[in-house]
Amino acid sequence: MIQPDLVVSPPSECEVDGLPSGYGSRDSILRPGAKRDWKRRRRGHLRRIDSCSSWDPGHTSAEAGKEKEQPSFGLGGGVSMRCSTVLAILAGVLLYLVLGAVVFRALETPREEGTHMHLQDKRRDFLLNFTCVGSDDLEMLIQEVVDAVGAGVDPSSNTTFVSQWDLASAFFFSGTIITTIGFGNISPKTEGGQLFCIFYALVGIPMFGILLAGVGDHLGTGLRKTVAKIETLFLKWRVSPTIVRVISAVLSILLGCLLFVAVPILVFQRVEGWSLLESAYFVVITLTTVGFGDYVAAPMDYFGENLAFIDESSDAQSGKLHLDPLLDQQATLYVHQSAKRHEGLFLREAPKATGRI
């Protein structure tokens, strides 16, 4: 009996029985490393290099009856935020502002009211003890003192004039402008000074920002190298990569807090004679570039330390700006790893082509 010819269909373009193109077929002669490449790809170390690389897992999942929602990325490479999320965050910020207003009002109003009552008592006692001074004359004197304080003059000083606009103080003030700290303890009062301050800030702030970009680049490089060394050390101990990233981030934050917060607090507490709370308050307000100006270190006595701390606060902000992309990069890595795991599921769920005999 003559056996009928067996008609075998050509191998599938992508996979035959779960094997890549070329493995177990005539193509394996042309590419003897197909089996090794396939095994490495199954372990996640090699991407598909043959024609299957153009295979869209989304279409396969649709054919299998399952839909895959791909993550949405914004223009900056991060996951885009939905409008509902933005509105929720806005509501949270507004609630946080209301909470701050209520707490500060409850904490500060009693002291303000007590100070006002004490001032009224002192004014009344003065008029009773010095009957030759009229109420209107005292009011005029008080107004003159208030105007002098607003102009930056110390009303408790003697007849010898001591300017707050000496070279050291003016240099310190210029530093608070370009660093956007703006303590506000001294400020220009003349029209010429205010006009010059406008143009000085418009030119100086971008110039200092360029300097911070360069300094922050070096700080960011150092931080990344430190994080890489920490991760390498823990990976040698067979620690989970996720735990390693968390530990490295925590250690980096603790190191930054030690250098930029703890040490300056102790220094200003000793130099200025402040309490620990006052020193911590000044350091945090300065580092965050809020700069209320109610606490300012004496620029004449410790000019070098103050200028170094202002520059340090700017470097801390710059280091933070260059540490944030590192954390964003790790978060993006998690997203891509998750997407890759889902893609692997789709590869396993894909229908397999079989030969016809």
pLDDT number for residue 107? 95
Measured CA to CA in angstroms, residue 324 lies from 128, 223, 238, 328, 329 at distances of 63, 11, 27, 6, 8
pLDDT number for residue 57? 47
Structural domains in the chain, CATH included, are 15-78 (no CATH), 81-154 (no CATH), 164-357 (1.10.287.70)
Cα distance between residue 154 and residue 279, in whole Å: 23
Please give the average per-residue pLDDT across 200-223, as a whole number. 88
Burial class (CB in 10 A: 0-12, 13-18, 19+), 282: buried
More confident residue, 303 or 113: 113
| Residues listed for the chain | 357
- Name the least confident of 116-120, 194-198, 316-320: 316-320
Take residue 122 and report the two structure tokens written for it: 């002192």
Tell me the helices (H) and strands (E) count for the chain, helix number first.
Answer: 11, 2
Query: 143 pLDDT exceeds 60?
Result: yes
pLDDT number for residue 237? 84
Query: 352 pLDDT exceeds 90?
Result: no
Q: What angle do CA 225, 231, 237 make, to 5 degrees?
A: 145
What is the reported pTM?
A: 0.59
Cα distance between residue 352 and residue 342, in whole Å: 18
C-beta separation of 19 from 31 below 8 A: no
Measured CA to CA in angstroms, residue 298 lies from 247, 256, 306 at distances of 39, 26, 8
Burial class (CB in 10 A: 0-12, 13-18, 19+), 132: exposed
